[in-house]
Amino acid sequence: MRISQSWDDGVVDDIRLLALLRQHYATVTFNLNPILYRSQRTLSWSNGNRSVWRLGRDELAEVYYSFEIANHSMSHQSLLNLAKKELASEVLDSRLLLQDWFQQPVRGFCYPFGDCNPTVKEAVRAAGHVYARTIIECDSIFPPTDPYYKVSCMFNDPAF
């Protein structure tokens, strides 16, 4: 059985997750948005009564060492209604920045909020990504009929 895992947004909880992944020799992709990082950790959002903290820019390379990094756009906004120039910047500039930060190729893209249409898919392809994913669930993703595929399980799925 093949399992493809990806995790979004670069939060402090990833540190504990990474320890488990390394213990089990798991390979995972982390989807990041470069413009949202500050040098120090920042409060990102609340989930009920729980605060979710974003990692600091200065710790990203060490925290995610040896794992694949994918592009999640520059600022995590919906890409559907952006002007062509702004869309290209959200997709390409963020990829180039992540490649510079991590000194590795950034091959994948994760659509913010799962939002995707033909224009967005073409911008992702044009920026040099070789695959992408969304949060729209499907029964099977292997082999993908389109490398810009969907997912088959979400972390908030009761069966997970």
Which domains are assigned to the chain? Answer: 6-151 (3.20.20.370)
Give dist(CA 32, CA 9) in Å, integer: 5
Reading the chain (160 residues) residue by residue, the pLDDT tens digits are 455 677 888 889 999 999 999 998 988 899 999 999 999 998 888 888 889 899 999 999 999 999 999 999 999 999 999 999 999 999 999 999 999 999 999 999 999 998 899 999 999 999 999 999 887 665 555 566 665 555 544 555 555 4
Give dist(CA 83, CA 69) in Å, integer: 26
Q: Which amino acid belongs to residue 43?
A: L
Q: 74: helix, coil or strand?
A: coil
Spatial contact of 55 and 37, defined as CB atoms under 8 Å apart: yes
Give dist(CA 129, CA 137) in Å, integer: 21
